[in-house]
Structure 1
Amino acid sequence: MFDNIRSDFRAHGRDWGAQGFWVMIVYRFGQWRYKVRPQLLRRLCSLTYKILFKLVQIITGIELPCEAIVGRNFVIDHFGGIIVSGYARFGDNCRIRNGVVVGLRRIEEPSAPVIGNNVDIGAGAKLLGPIRIGDNSVIGANAVVLVDVPENSIAIGVPAIIKPRRSSSLDLHDH
């Protein structure tokens, strides 16, 4: 747990005031508590987690349940209006911003997006349902993504249109 928290601290720019970092501390504690023995102590840790989860949710406007799977260097860039389903999975080096929802498309279908490594999710984006977001992809601000996004792609618009990402050298020559 403490190695993950140190890594989260570095990922959030070593800023103790970063509300995304506060959320990650509670998230890591929530996952760690499952390993606590004996059962009575684990129940006490679970109660503590539930109180901390609700407190950080109220203060930051971020809901990241410990049932979600989050990789290393997960960064919550801005606070407020962020909701992540407990069914969601994130790879390493992902970044999300304010107003992002990663969740269920239909309540009767309990499955949420699986997000690869190095994925950058813009402010206000909505990723819904049993979709996969490939490695090195970018989800544009306010995009609504309801379909799979291949590796090295960008998803923009409502509903999202998927396009291959251009390399940075191409971006410089196209202007």
Structure 2
Amino acid sequence: MFSRIKEDINSVFDRDPAARNSFEVLTNYPGLHAIWFHRLAHKLWKRDWKWLARTISTFSRWLTGIEIHPGATIGRRFFIDHGMGVVIGGTAEIGDDVTLYQGVTLGGTSWKEGKRHPTLGNNVVIGAGAKVLGPILIDDGGKVGSNSVVVKDVPANSTAVGIPGKIVNSNGKKKSNGTRDEVAKKYGFDAYAVSEDNPDPVAKAIGRLLDHIHLMDNKVGDLCKEVNNLGGNVCDKELPELRVGEFIEDEQKAAARRLKTVESFDPKI
């Protein structure tokens, strides 16, 4: 038991530069306390002492702000950074050396019995506020960006970001073009959502719609010109121009404001 506790404490130093000494980690890291309570609750759960296991789990949630169902299976050197608001469902399975940040949910999408929660492989990292939902697999080395909502499998050594989560960094098993590689380099993995150019699926969709509208405008303009050459009188008023750049500039300004706000509250950034 003590060797596992020592192993847990040492894993914190590998993943949190704010950790100063073992005594501080032992006494002031609620993520570790939640894991230790869970190990006890999980053993009782497997021995069919379900009420006592749930009671210990509830006490742990009250003490740490982290809710881990006693039925969840968790590997070695599991680390929850900050931890407040983390929820891990009863059929979740977590491998070794996994890291979760605050506000993460490993939840279900169905009320049916059976496997309802995600499976995380080894060395997986889930960013702050991310929601991983359903009986999906985040394979070894997979990463989920902050505030993403992932409902489909993430391949090994890949990064998923956005709502819904999209793969922006592939492990090379799937063939990808240069554009996707550039996007992956540009966005990368972000645990705290402070990048000024995080991909926004809504903005991306609006941009594509505007491109489509511009194309249609050009085609309609050509059609109007031909009709007028034949003696008609249509399209006498010009349509107002829509510039994608306006939306991009607004988004960049908003992102800069968000970054400045986060920096003022979080000394790590």
Q: TM-score range by the shorter chain?
A: 0.7 to 0.9
State whether structure 2 residue 152 is matched by structure 1 residue 147: yes
Per-residue CA deviations over 1:83-111 (Å, capped at 9, x if unaligned) read 00010001110000111000101223641
User: Aligned partners of 2:87, 2:54: CA distance in 1, in Å?
Assistant: 16
State whether structure 2 residue 49 is matched by structure 1 residue 60: no
Q: List runs of 5+ in structure 1 lacking aligned partners.
A: 37-41
User: Aligned partners of 2:131, 2:32: CA distance in 1, in Å?
Assistant: 22
2:98 is aligned to: 94
Mapped contact 2:45–2:71 kept (Cα < 8 A): no
Per-residue CA deviations over 1:22-73 (Å, capped at 9, x if unaligned) read 101101112334687xxxxx85x963x4443222201221011221111111
- When normalised by structure 1's length, the TM-score is 0.81
1:116 is aligned to: 121
State whether structure 2 residue 167 is matched by structure 1 residue 136: no
Which residue identity is paired with 1:113?
Answer: P
Per-residue CA deviations over 1:117-145 (Å, capped at 9, x if unaligned) read 10010000000001111111110000000
SS at match of 1:24: helix
State whether structure 2 residue 39 is matched by structure 1 residue 28: yes
- When normalised by structure 2's length, the TM-score is 0.55
State whether structure 2 residue 170 is matched by structure 1 residue 159: no
Distance change >3 Å, CA 50–CA 130, structure 1 → 2: closer
Mapped contact 1:30–1:46 kept (Cα < 8 A): no
1:12 is aligned to: 12
- Of Structure 1 and Structure 2, the greater helix share is in 2
Which residue identity is paired with 1:26?
Answer: F
SS at match of 1:162: strand
2:130 is aligned to: 125
Point out which structure has higher relative CO (alpha carbons under 8 A, 6+ apart): 1
Mapped contact 1:136–1:151 kept (Cα < 8 A): yes
Mapped contact 1:132–1:148 kept (Cα < 8 A): yes
Identity %: 36
Mapped contact 1:81–1:98 kept (Cα < 8 A): yes
- Of Structure 1 and Structure 2, the greater strand share is in 1
User: Aligned partners of 2:92, 2:122: CA distance in 1, in Å?
Assistant: 14
Mapped contact 1:5–1:28 kept (Cα < 8 A): no
Q: List runs of 5+ in structure 2 lacking aligned partners.
A: 14-21, 172-180, 187-269
Which residue identity is paired with 2:140?
Answer: D
CA RMSD between the two structures: 2.7
Distance change >3 Å, CA 6–CA 30, structure 1 → 2: farther
